[in-house]
């Protein structure tokens, strides 16, 4: 329903105050007409206590008047339920060139009931924002209220499914709940704004990919309400929305912002397929409202979500059953270079990769479209390991951080490559004259070209389906790069010398030409490079990757500052770590990761990770003479390249031994199927109306689980009646998310199991699945019923009591991506009919117990063992039966298994551990995995594709005792397992971060 003006402004609260804080006199106001020259980028952000101005023009963001190219990666704190590890991922992202992190905040994760909001423990948003500031990362905050994100109901809390009001519109009932949510979130965010110097929150998104009701008053009023509400809550950073595609939806001026101007950014999401030709979504495109960045020509090009992978559904249809390893292979480093460099060439200076760390959709968090793992094929895998996909992100991120010319680029005069298979994007900085050329090869063969129009007459090779960026006329410290055939990675001054790094693919022959009017005296510090001087130009060549890092020192050319030119292939570049300190930048080479660098006196204190034995080399400010690594002194000498070079290698990591999982105990877990089970404290299912989008069948009560407060996991039904002994069959209509199932028993006898089909590619995104499960009454029960009828007729005695028990694995709610309230589609039973007789059934329903105060509302469902705490480590299972794995039981129902194990990972070792389940794929059963009480996911043996489940440190006690509980659901048609259950080492490093138990 449409809001009246009075109602709208009543709900908006104190919006006028927000505008007063962000008007033209505010330190955060932007003047689109103002421009800024090319110069040093802003310093690394922190909660520095000083107020900052955030503006923009059509080139880039402006932070305190300095241009900033935002190179961001997406991670979701709720997909890593160990707050200590948030720091680990953020430090890795920053080290690998990212300067920002984009995060969703999931409403369902924080709100177990209306008016109740929990931001403690694993849900501590303030802790995450503080950690981001401490690691020097800007934050792009995305609290919805709708987020999609492949999470249950698109982030809407379960209780919202049973409320009046049309979601994602200006419906007043819905907006009252939205108001509660945003008030709770913004009270935290307002304390961590970069504008106020109290945090690093730089940008704030409202809603998510909202392409419904765009041209309707209700949709525009909804967006206006969100804008005014956020401003009223004191959020004074620029706001934006992410258009679902290149539609021009919600560009500046398309909805009311209460009179505020110049504070809204247009952004659009893009997920091209790997085999597509990268599109031009900006200055080289067709333009107009549907051209991407050209829909908003006065704001910088902004892609809030650029595809860094893709999700995989149950059964693995997206990647042919190969899982996320195939996602990572098809969207590899070459894919990233080709697509992201095309974006950069098109003026996209706000770039966020979704996902950069995917993590785990643990518990009942995942949407119907995905299984537990949300690895996504991202640059960091689910176990927090760096992958080769990081190479282009690392190189481009460092380049954008240390070469400010890229923040302000215009299209330059067209440049032709000598082979038409290579497309050339010519770009130039109008202030410095530096030129950049993005060369893209969409063919299946490597192509070598020259660029005669640009004065580059030496071959530049672009691998098949790849791209590279080369530069010309670029200032590198006190010298000028004439041109290069490989990509510059960084340029900095450390101590008494300038350093320039060039990087490319292994086997490339790199050529770097420097302007040298006076004859230089180059010094080749490694065997691979060669050089020549001719016509006032110094030519340096080096094959990349032949000997690791190759070095050439240049001096004697009339410039008073020497220059060190470094050459690295992709693998070597991933071991080069620039780091800014108050005394000047450092460059560290060798370890697998540099986390921090601190200068105290003449000592530089480094922390980081090693995986194998490695050297260490440090270039830094004048006066440093000593080095420590993770708190231990490292003996060094001064090298010919001016670095401090370690005299002996840093040690690698000792891989920890993993215990075997044995000593299992087991117990049957479905007493609800017994007709004599006491269900007197269950909820009576007798409602007649619902807010669900699923209609209630005539003559039936509402059986939908959400209407009775059971929003996550399994739900049990027990229908009771007397007499009606002529029943021949039962039909159970039910509605679930993907891979839902139903089991039924009549008077304790199994009727059978029904399950939803495995989705193919065409139905991978289907959010709600409905079916009718028809079960014939078994012959032994029919015989029993005949005897009961005869007894009643002969004796006129008491009618017999009968119980129909039904277990529904409801899976998750639809994500409502089209804003049609589809998250309110029923979950659980929807109708029950009988053939042969018509009993009058009284229904009771039971789902999850009170939400876990530590693990949250999405940790458990309604299994008997969950309600009784069988998943918790403190539960006493001393009376359970001993069991050996593999098992091969054949029964319909639930069986629990528990075991304890101890870990003894050495201090100072970050070991990432996984749990592997494996069995004959023909066996039909599924397992809920509980580690120390935490629901780490669901395994479906005959569907897959996931077999390995990451066990995050903090939940996993790497030095101590752990309890593993498995709840196995089997349909009785095959042996049920579990089969092989073991621990596996997914990664190990010497270093890491301190981890607290959660």
Strands 563-569, 497-504: pairing kind: parallel
Give, in order, the Cα–Cα distances in Å from 162 to each of 361, 685, 737, 751, 808. 24, 14, 17, 31, 19
User: What are the φ/ψ torsions at residue 190 (nearest 5 degrees)?
Assistant: -60, -20
Measured distance CA(697)–CA(695) in Å, rounded:
6
Among 264, 273, 218, 221, which residue's Cα sits nearest to residue 243? 264
Contact between 290 and 296 under an 8 Å Cβ cutoff? The reply is no
Measured distance CA(835)–CA(420) in Å, rounded:
72
Measured distance CA(62)–CA(267) in Å, rounded:
17
276 assigned to active site: no
Give, in order, the Cα–Cα distances in Å from 78 to each of 195, 297, 594, 725, 914. 26, 35, 25, 51, 19
What residues does 913 pair with on adjacent strands?
951, 985
Task: Count other Cβ atoms within 10 Å, centred on residue 921.
Answer: 10
Among 116, 109, 122, 77, which residue's Cα sits nearest to residue 364? 109
Contact between 947 and 961 under an 8 Å Cβ cutoff? The reply is no
Give, in order, the Cα–Cα distances in Å from 707 to each of 721, 883, 948. 23, 39, 35
> Residue 105: helix, strand or coil by DSSP?
coil
Contact between 243 and 278 under an 8 Å Cβ cutoff? The reply is no
Contact between 316 and 310 under an 8 Å Cβ cutoff? The reply is no
74, 207, 228, 305: the active-site residue: 305
Task: Count other Cβ atoms within 10 Å, centred on residue 986.
Answer: 17
Measured distance CA(86)–CA(127) in Å, rounded:
9
With a CB cutoff of 8 Å and minimum separation 6, the contacts of 876 are none
Count of helices and strands (H, E) across the chain: 13, 53
Going by the DSSP 8-state scheme, the letter that residue 756 receives in this structure is: P
Q: Which H/E stretch holds residue 977?
A: none
Q: Please, what is the Cα angle at 386 between 599 and 466, to 5 degrees?
A: 110
Measured distance CA(558)–CA(538) in Å, rounded:
13
Give, in order, the Cα–Cα distances in Å from 858 to each of 204, 364, 873. 26, 5, 18
With a CB cutoff of 8 Å and minimum separation 6, the contacts of 253 are none
Give, in order, the Cα–Cα distances in Å from 584 to each of 338, 402, 949, 965. 33, 13, 43, 52
Among 828, 833, 911, which residue's Cα sits nearest to residue 658? 911
With a CB cutoff of 8 Å and minimum separation 6, the contacts of 777 are 727, 728, 729, 730, 746, 751, 785, 836
688 assigned to active site: no
Measured distance CA(116)–CA(128) in Å, rounded:
20
209, 228, 336, 672: the active-site residue: 209
Q: In what order do the strands lie in the sheet with 980-990?
A: 948-951, 909-918, 980-990
Contact between 252 and 259 under an 8 Å Cβ cutoff? The reply is no
What residues does 807 pair with on adjacent strands?
716, 743
Measured distance CA(76)–CA(128) in Å, rounded:
10
With a CB cutoff of 8 Å and minimum separation 6, the contacts of 216 are none
Active site members: 209, 305
């Amino acid at each position: 329903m449409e809001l009246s003006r009075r109602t709208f402004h009543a709900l908006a609260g104190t919006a006028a105050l927000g505008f007063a804080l962000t008007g033209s006199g505010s330190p955060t106001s932007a003047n689109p007409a103002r421009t800024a020259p090319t110069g040093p980028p802003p310093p690394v952000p922190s909660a520095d206590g000083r107020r900052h101005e955030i503006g923009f023009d059509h080139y880039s963001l402006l932070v305190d008047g300095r241009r900033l190219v935002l190179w961001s990666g997406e991670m979701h704190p709720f997909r890593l339920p160990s707050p200590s590890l948030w720091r680990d991922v953020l430090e890795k992202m920053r080290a690998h060139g990212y300067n920002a992190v984009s995060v969703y905040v999931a409403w369902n994760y924080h709100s177990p009931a209306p008016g109740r909001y929990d931001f403690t423990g694993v849900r501590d948003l303030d802790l995450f924002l503080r950690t981001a500031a401490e690691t020097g990362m800007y934050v792009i905050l995305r609290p919805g209220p709708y987020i999609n994100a492949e999470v249950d109901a698109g982030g809407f809390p379960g209780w919202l499914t049973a409320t009046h009001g049309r979601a994602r519109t200006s419906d007043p009932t819905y907006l009252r709940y939205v108001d509660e949510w945003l008030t709770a979130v913004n009270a935290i965010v307002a304390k961590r704004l970069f504008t106020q110097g109290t945090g690093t929150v730089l940008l704030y998104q409202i809603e998510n990919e909202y392409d419904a009701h765009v041209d309707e008053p209700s949709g525009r009023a909804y967006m206006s309400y969100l804008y005014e509400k956020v401003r009223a809550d004191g959020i004074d950073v620029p706001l934006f929305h992410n258009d679902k595609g290149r539609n021009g939806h919600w560009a500046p001026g398309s909805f009311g912002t209460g009179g505020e101007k110049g504070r809204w950014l247009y952004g659009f999401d893009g997920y091209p397929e790997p085999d597509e030709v990268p599109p031009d979504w900006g200055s080289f495109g067709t333009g107009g409202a549907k051209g991407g960045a050209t829909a908003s020509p006065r704001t910088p090009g902004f892609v809030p979500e650029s595809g860094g992978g893709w999700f995989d559904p149950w059964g693995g249809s997206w990647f042919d059953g190969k899982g996320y390893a195939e996602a990572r292979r098809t969207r590899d480093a070459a894919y990233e270079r080709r697509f992201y460099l095309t974006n950069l060439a098109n003026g996209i200076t706000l770039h966020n990769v979704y996902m950069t760390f995917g993590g785990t959709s643990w518990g009942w968090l995942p949407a119907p479209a995905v299984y537990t793992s949300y690895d996504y094929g991202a640059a960091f895998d689910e176990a927090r390991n760096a992958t080769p996909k990081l190479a282009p992100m690392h190189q481009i991120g460092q380049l954008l951080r240390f070469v400010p010319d890229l923040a302000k680029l215009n299209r330059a005069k067209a440049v032709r490559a000598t082979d038409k298979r290579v497309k050339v994007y010519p770009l130039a900085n109008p202030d410095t004259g530096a030129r950049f050329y993005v060369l893209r090869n969409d063919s299946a063969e490597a192509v070598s070209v020259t660029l005669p129009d640009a004065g580059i007459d030496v071959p530049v090779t672009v691998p098949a389906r790849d791209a590279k960026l080369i530069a010309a006329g670029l200032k590198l410290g006190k010298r000028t790069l004439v041109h290069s055939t490989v990509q510059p990675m960084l340029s900095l001054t450390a101590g008494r010398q300038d350093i320039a790094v060039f990087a490319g693919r292994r086997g490339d022959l790199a050529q770097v030409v420097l302007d040298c009017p006076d004859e230089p005296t180059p010094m080749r510090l490694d065997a691979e490079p060669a050089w020549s001087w001719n016509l006032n130009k110094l030519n340096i060549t080096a094959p990349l990757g032949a000997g690791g890092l190759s070095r050439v020192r240049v001096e004697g050319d009339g410039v008073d500052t020497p220059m060190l030119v470094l050459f690295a292939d992709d693998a070597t570049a991933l071991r080069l770590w620039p780091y800014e300190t108050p005394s000047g930048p450092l460059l560290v080479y060798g370890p697998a990761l540099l986390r921090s660098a601190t200068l105290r006196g003449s000592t530089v204190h480094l922390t980081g990770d090693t995986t194998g034995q490695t050297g260490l080399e440090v270039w830094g400010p004048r006066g440093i003479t000593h080095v420590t690594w993770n708190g231990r002194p490292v003996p060094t000498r001064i090298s010919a390249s001016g670095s401090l070079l370690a005299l002996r290698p840093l040690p690698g990591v000792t891989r920890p031994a993993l215990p075997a999982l044995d000593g299992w105990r087991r117990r049957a877990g479905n007493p609800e199927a017994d007709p004599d089970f006491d269900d007197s404290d269950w909820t009576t299912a007798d409602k007649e109306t619902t807010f669900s989008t699923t209609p209630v069948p005539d003559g039936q009560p509402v059986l939908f689980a959400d209407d009775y407060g059971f929003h996550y996991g399994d739900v049990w039904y027990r229908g009771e009646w007397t007499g009606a002994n002529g029943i021949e069959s039962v039909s159970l209509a039910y509605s679930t998310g993907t891979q839902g199932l139903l089991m039924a028993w009549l008077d304790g006898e199994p009727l059978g199991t029904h399950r939803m089909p495995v989705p193919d590619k065409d139905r991978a995104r289907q959010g709600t699945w409905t079916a009718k499960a028809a079960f014939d009454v078994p012959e032994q029960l029919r015989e029993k019923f005949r005897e009961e009828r005869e007894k009643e007729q002969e004796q006129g005695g008491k009618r017999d009591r009968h119980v129909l028990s039904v277990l529904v694995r409801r899976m998750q709610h639809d994500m409502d991506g089209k804003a049609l309230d589809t998250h309110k589609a029923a979950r659980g039973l929807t109708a029950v009919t009988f053939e042969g007789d018509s009993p009058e059934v009284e229904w009771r329903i039971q789902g999850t117990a009170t939400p876990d105060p530590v693990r949250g509302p999405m940790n458990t469902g309604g299994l008997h063992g969950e309600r009784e705490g069988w998943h918790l480590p403190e539960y006493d299972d001393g009376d359970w039966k001993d069991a050996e794995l593999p098992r091969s039981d054949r029964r319909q129902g639930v069986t629990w298994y528990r075991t304890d194990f101890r870990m003894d990972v050495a201090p100072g070792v970050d070991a990432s551990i996984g749990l592997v389940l494996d069995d004959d794929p023909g066996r039909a059963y599924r397992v809920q995995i509980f580690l120390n009480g935490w629901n780490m996911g669901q395994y479906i043996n005959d569907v897959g594709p996931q077999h390995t489940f990451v066990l995050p440190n903090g939940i996993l006690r790497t030095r101590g005792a752990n309890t593993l509980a498995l709840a196995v659901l089997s349909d009785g048609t095959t042996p049920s397992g579990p089969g092989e259950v073991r621990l596996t080492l997914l990664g190990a490093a010497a270093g890491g971060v301190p981890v607290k138990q959660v």
